[in-house]
Amino acid sequence: MTHIAMFSAQPYDRRFFEAANARHGFQIGYHEVALNAESAVLAHGADGVCAFVNDTLDATVLAALAAQGVGFVAMRCAGFNNVDIEAAARLGIAVVRVPAYSPEAVAEHALALLLTLNRRTHRAYNRVREGNFMLEGLLGMTLHGKTVGLIGTGRIGLATARIFAGLGCRLLGEDRYPSEAFTTLGGEYVSRRRLLAESDVISLHCPLTDDTRYLIDAEALATMKPGALLLNTSRGALIDTRAVIDALKARRLGGLAIDVYEQETSLFFRDHSGDIIDDDVFQRLVTFPNVLITGHQGFFTQEALAEIAEVTLGNVACLQRGAPCANRVDD
């Protein structure tokens, strides 16, 4: 029987994977701890591991897994920037992922972030509960007719574009591989410089690669329209957080809403409410009234979790049969 060691497993992972596993009958060991050099030993006896966005799968960890007989890594997410693909190939470890599970789930979260940030509903909620009905500080802009710039118009970028088209926004896009679906929606592909300069709202939907790391840096922020809002539901390191803090302090950037953070590995998916958080950059961010942060929950809908579990276990079944697997990322 195929034995899978799952890392960073939360109660909801177990729930959705147990349901999907009824069809496969794999033996799944659920470990709450994140995968790293110390915890890799928990994969002892497993044929493969199932990992998530903040697990470490660098060359050292992969070598430790391979030494224990691990033959595959099944990522239960779309991004795989945390996996050293070359090392995996060298060690003979197959890597599979879930390329698309409800892109609308992430797109809808980007919308939730924007509407909250723009109309300050998070602040209004608290005020009203305190009996404070003042409107000062809650002023937003009408999104209809505003320009939204999308960096990355793949599955999630396109789903986001559809939503903003519905709001009556003008759409600008930047992508190496322009999509006809985006232009059919009325979107216009422009240079990054034009996108930054003309957009009232900028939303990031490209993967994290060497090319895209810190694509929003001090220079990009200086190019942006004063007062523009920046959304990031993709990967934290697309943004140079320190440069963003400077732009917020200078009152140039109008607001920031993020579901991802470059140093999220040591914070997200855990309860730190009783801890002193050592990350001063993160702590500075939360002090701004025009910054909204969620802890990587863009994917977190029932439909997406069911799809992730189905596809992940389907990928494992495919590898076990020795059949070609379309979701391999190491080919």
Q: Nearer to ligand NAI by C-beta: 78 or 293?
A: 78
Q: Nearer to ligand NAI by C-beta: 49 or 107?
A: 107
Q: Nearer to ligand NAI by C-beta: 217 or 246?
A: 217
Interface segment toward ligand NAI; rule CB under 6 A; list 83-91, 140-148, 172-180, 275-283: 172-180
- Contact characters 148-167, ligand NAI, x per CB under 6 A: ---xxxxxxx----------
- Contact indicator for 144, 168 with CB cutoff of 8 Å: yes
CB burial of 174-188 (b: ≥16 within 10 Å; e: otherwise) equals: bbeeebeebeebebe
**What is the DSSP code (8-state) at residue 92?**
T
**232, exposed or middle or buried, with CB in 10 Å at 0-12, 13-18, 19+?**
buried
Is 327 a binder of ligand NAI (CB under 6 A)? no
- Contact characters 232-251, ligand NAI, x per CB under 6 A: -xxx----------------
Residues in the chain: 331
- Contact indicator for 20, 313 with CB cutoff of 8 Å: yes
Given the residues 262, 264, 307, 310, select the one marked as catalytic: 264
Is 299 a binder of ligand NAI (CB under 6 A)? yes
Over its C-alpha atoms, the chain yields an Rg (Å, rounded) of 21
Strands (E), the chain: 3-6, 27-30, 48-51, 72-75, 94-96, 147-151, 170-174, 188-189, 201-204, 229-232, 255-258, 291-293
By three-state DSSP, how is residue 258 classified?
Answer: strand
Q: Which residue from 57, 89, 91, 10 is spatially nearest to 268, judged by alpha carbons?
A: 10
Active-site annotation holds for 303:
no
By three-state DSSP, how is residue 203 classified?
Answer: strand
- How many CB atoms within 10 Å of residue 133? 8
Closest approach of Cβ 293 to ligand NAI, in Å?
Answer: 12
Binder among 200, 259, 262, 310 for ligand NAI (CB under 6 A): 259
Span 4-63, contacts to ligand NAI by CB under 6 A: none
Closest approach of Cβ 79 to ligand NAI, in Å?
Answer: 4
Say how far apart CA 205 and CA 192 lie, in whole Å.
13
Span 96-135, contacts to ligand NAI by CB under 6 A: 100, 103, 106
Is 295 a binder of ligand NAI (CB under 6 A)? no
Given the residues 235, 262, 307, 310, select the one marked as catalytic: 235
Interface segment toward ligand NAI; rule CB under 6 A; list 35-43, 113-121, 199-207, 317-325: 199-207
328: Cβ contacts below 8 Å, ≥ 6 apart: 94, 95, 96
Strands in 255-258's sheet, in edge-to-edge order, are: 188-189, 170-174, 147-151, 201-204, 229-232, 255-258, 291-293
Q: Nearer to ligand NAI by C-beta: 43 or 154?
A: 154
Is 175 a binder of ligand NAI (CB under 6 A)? yes
Q: Nearer to ligand NAI by C-beta: 38 or 219?
A: 219
203: Cβ contacts below 8 Å, ≥ 6 apart: 110, 114, 148, 149, 150, 151, 157, 160, 231, 232, 233
Count the residues of the shown chain that bind ligand NAI, applying the rule CB under 6 A: 30
Question: Which residue has the closest beta carbon to ligand NAI?
Answer: 154
Active-site annotation holds for 136:
no
Q: Nearer to ligand NAI by C-beta: 47 or 76?
A: 76
Interface segment toward ligand NAI; rule CB under 6 A; list 15-23, 200-208, 249-257, 285-293: 200-208
Active site residues: 235, 264
Contacts with ligand NAI by CB under 6 A lie at 78-79, 100, 103, 106, 151-157, 174-177, 205-208, 211-212, 233-235, 259-260, 296, 298-299
